Chains A and B, each alone.
Chain A
Amino acid sequence: MSIAATQKQGFGAVIWDYLTTVDHKKIAHLYTFGGGFFFILGGIEALIIRIQLIKPENDFVSAGFYNEVITMHGTTMIFLAAMPLLLGLMNAAVPLQIGARDVAFPFLNSLGFWLFMFGGILLNCSWFLGGAPDAGWTSYAPLSTTSPGHGVDFYVMGLQIAGAGTLIGGINFLVTIINMRAPGMTYMRMPLFTWATFVTSILILFAFPALTIGLFLLMFDRMFDSAFFDVTLGGNTIIWQHLFWIFGHPEVYILILPVFGLFSDIFSTFSKKRLFGYTAMVFATMLIAFLGFMVWAHHMFTVGLGPVANTIFSIATMAIAVPTGIKIFNWLATMWGGSITINSAMLWSLGFIPSFTVGGMTGVMVATVAADYQYHDTYFVIAHFHYVIVGGTVFGIFAGFHYWWPKMFGRILNETMGKIAFWTFFIGFHLTFFIQHFLGLMGMPRRYWVFLEDQNLDLGNFISTIGAFFMAIGVIVFFINAIYSQVKGEKAPADPWDGRTLEWSIPSPPPYYNFKQLPLTRGLDPLWVEKTEGNGKMTPAEPLGEIHMPNNSFIPFVMSLGLFIAGFGFIYQTDNNAWFIALFGGMAIALGAMIVRSVKDDLGYHISKEELEREADE
């Protein structure tokens, strides 16, 4: 492929290009579209939940369906919306922030995306094939092992495939950040978002395998009659809970750390100040990740682990407040004395601080074990985690897209619509979830299909539902904004925000090779350094030379498709042995694709110096 081939394509060619792309910027687009789609899906499920709970003993949906909806809402939002959107932002920004032309493993990058996508599709196929999983996103055994139908089987296979994709993504970012930094970009000069990606990837690397094994055990119990969670044969259901939360707690930091990183970048950019306490921020990130592995049992305080284990985990959990507090105060100190511009990206970031702080506060409250005997499995916990997830992760994702949209798509999002979206969502968010703290303490457990009359829960639930609709309006406005920007939006300059980091030193959107010449980093916030020294642009670290690029490949798509088919085989072989054909067939496709990949040399191609020079003249 040469430069000419990437310009002006027909529709079919564009699709083909996306199906085979290994370019991290296009994969970022794919993650954005995929994650955005699932976010809407999860949001619609949230609306169904809230409509059902608008009044007592409502029968908008049936009891069984309600359980399917909450399960899919939780699973979809966490695995198929929040994480992919974050991976999208990472793909869009990290290679640019470290001055790299690509990620370390472009092929695996694409494979990771397709595994996620096919896993997500597989999971959602359950809606049309006899019912979705209904044991909660936590799928506690033995409810999950005894759940009739194939719902939970779809959960197992879907998450297994999507999870493999995430793991691959994690390793890819680790190696990218270690090996591909441009000259001068030392670790302690990396932007905080890159740091956060690095630490998050470590979390992914060590957390996901526990889920993988948990899902295998669940799969063996459900599909092959093993006895891990079968109490009559000596099984122990608590193993699932441990495995799930050994993964699950780090997972929530996987959701929050990247946005911590991007908020750091945003606050610093729009305050025109360098990040206050950079070193402390980096170590706080690592400390959160480290402690994050030692607190999982705080989800299991009522399981009966005994007071010793409970208090140890309780105190370890509270300790996380310390590094997180460091972050909150450093952000405030970053803005202190700055010259603050408030635009949409900044609004979402400013909205984040009080919202997340409330969520963190309730986090510490549920971490006090004897109080958690009351909070656990009630709407108080629902309120806690939506405050951190929506007020943290989702606000962060919106902020991140407003911030990087110009770089990703070459257009600037409309400010007016951005503000409308923020305010409706922000107000709706607090309406929905603040009241839930009280609902929980007033005796409303979570995962309740109906709440009863005369329990003084009516008004709170009503307000909560109204709030959810405000949020929906906010989301819709954002989506309109996104589409509008592509049609009529203002073309983005290379550096719309007077940025500080490397991604703003190249055109928006960047050429497919990112940096014509690798930039030389001379300090933290490299672009800012050049600006203050009056250069305004990066000094190249190398002479113009040919650039090596990887080839596109259709193999990742085929491999994922193979696993997708095999997934169906696994699910249905319990009904009929004929499905073993799908199982082995799918595996053969995946393995075949893998062998093709390893037998055929894929050396990539080179962009010649002449081509690059010609490009410069255009």
Chain B
Amino acid sequence: MMSNDHILNPETMPQSPEKATLEGKNKFLGLWFFLGGETVLFASLFGTYLSLKNSTAGGPTSEELFGLELVFIMTIMLLTSSLTSVYAMYHMKNNDFKKMQLWLGITGLLGIGFLAMEIYEFAHYITEYGFTFRSSAFGSAFYTLVGFHGGHVTFGILWLITLMIRNAKRGLNLYNAPKFNTFSLYWHFIDVVWVFVFTVVYLMGKVG
């Protein structure tokens, strides 16, 4: 048995540290399956949104509300954060812990930026248009769908921070490599969902 706090060195480093142990393999599959379930979760929200998006009850419509600039910047931020987490995994596979932490840090910052802009956007709708969660069925569906995504981002950031702090002194090992990897998969999935959010909610909402 190997001690788990042992930092990996090139001598003991396996090809895919995240899947080198049974626990790692389990975590890897478990997370993927969870994402399969999440797909249906978000599908339910998208379906609800699509069937209610014209139920504005006299309030502002999606065309009146949405602006594209902010959403574009948010999209690029989240997309980039997906790439930076790929970089982090790249360095993990090369057993370069410092660089991995660095790229993870950047990923987190981009996530926080995204979240801040989302909050700004919501605040904008509420103060400028009086468009809230309670205004209409459209309002409820919009905030719930986008909010659920935002909630996932928030959770991801908290997860990331815990991981980074927790492992800052320990370096990379076979016990925590799977954890970093599952996080990165989760983070990509958030981006996948966002692709549909910006397409279905914002772009299609703008087209009419």
Contact = CB atoms under 8 A, between A and B. Distances in A.
A599 B159 CA distance: 11
Interface stretch (B74-82, B89-97, B111-119, B129-137): B129-137
Interface stretch (B7-15, B51-59, B65-73, B195-203): B51-59
Contact of A105 (B26, B36, B175): B26
Interface residues of B, number: 39
B55 A236 contact: yes
B1 A227 contact: no
B40 A234 contact: no
B140 A209 contact: no
Given A226-B134, A234-B136, A601-B4, A174 B29 contact: yes
Contacts of B4: 601, 603
A227 B175 contact: no
Contact of B48 (A224, A232, A239, A603): A239
B187 interface: no
B28 to A, nearest CB: 9
A217 interface: yes
Contact of A228 (B26, B52, B57): B52
B73 to A, nearest CB: 28
Interface of B: 1, 4-5, 22, 25-26, 29-30, 33-34, 36-38, 40-41, 44-45, 47-48, 51-52, 55-57, 133-141, 144, 162-163, 166, 175, 179
Interface string A203-231: 00111111011101100110011111010
Given A233-B136, A236-B137, A599-B162, 7 more contacts: A180-B22, A213-B41, A214-B44, A221-B140, A228-B141, A235-B52, A546-B1
Nearest to A171: B33
A286 interface: no
A243 B175 contact: no
B144 A226 contact: yes
Contacts of A206: 36-37, 40
Contacts of B41: 209-210, 212-213
Contact of B133 (A212, A214, A224): A224
A212 B132 CA distance: 23
A224 B138 CA distance: 15
A418 B29 CA distance: 42
Interface in A164-198: 167, 171-172, 174-175, 178-180
Question: Which of B5, B55, B139 is packed against the most chain A CB atoms within 10 Å?
Answer: B55
Interface string A331-375: 000000000000000000000000000000000000000000000
A236 B51 CA distance: 8
B159 to A, nearest CB: 8
Contacts of A214: 44
A234 to B, nearest CB: 3
Nearest to B40: A209
A488 interface: no
Interface of A: 104-105, 167, 171-172, 174-175, 178-180, 205-210, 212-214, 216-217, 220-221, 224-228, 230, 232-236, 239, 242-243, 246, 546, 595, 598-599, 601, 603, 606
A234 B138 contact: yes
A213 B52 contact: no
A546 B1 CA distance: 10
A235 B137 contact: yes
Contact of B57 (A174, A213, A233, A601): A233
A220 B37 CA distance: 22
Contact of A205 (B37, B56, B137, B138): B37
Contact of B29 (A175, A227, A239, A601): A175
Contacts of B44: 209-210, 212-214, 243, 246
Contacts of A105: 26, 30
A217 B44 CA distance: 10
Nearest to A239: B48
A142 B152 CA distance: 29
Given A209-B44, A213-B41, A174 B33 contact: yes
B131 to A, nearest CB: 12
Contact of B37 (A171, A172, A217): A171
A179 B51 CA distance: 40
A175 B25 CA distance: 9
Given A217-B144, A227-B139, A228-B137, A179 B45 contact: no
B22 A239 contact: no
Contacts of A606: 1
Contacts of A239: 47-48, 51-52
Contact of A175 (B26, B37, B133, B140): B26
B30 A175 contact: yes
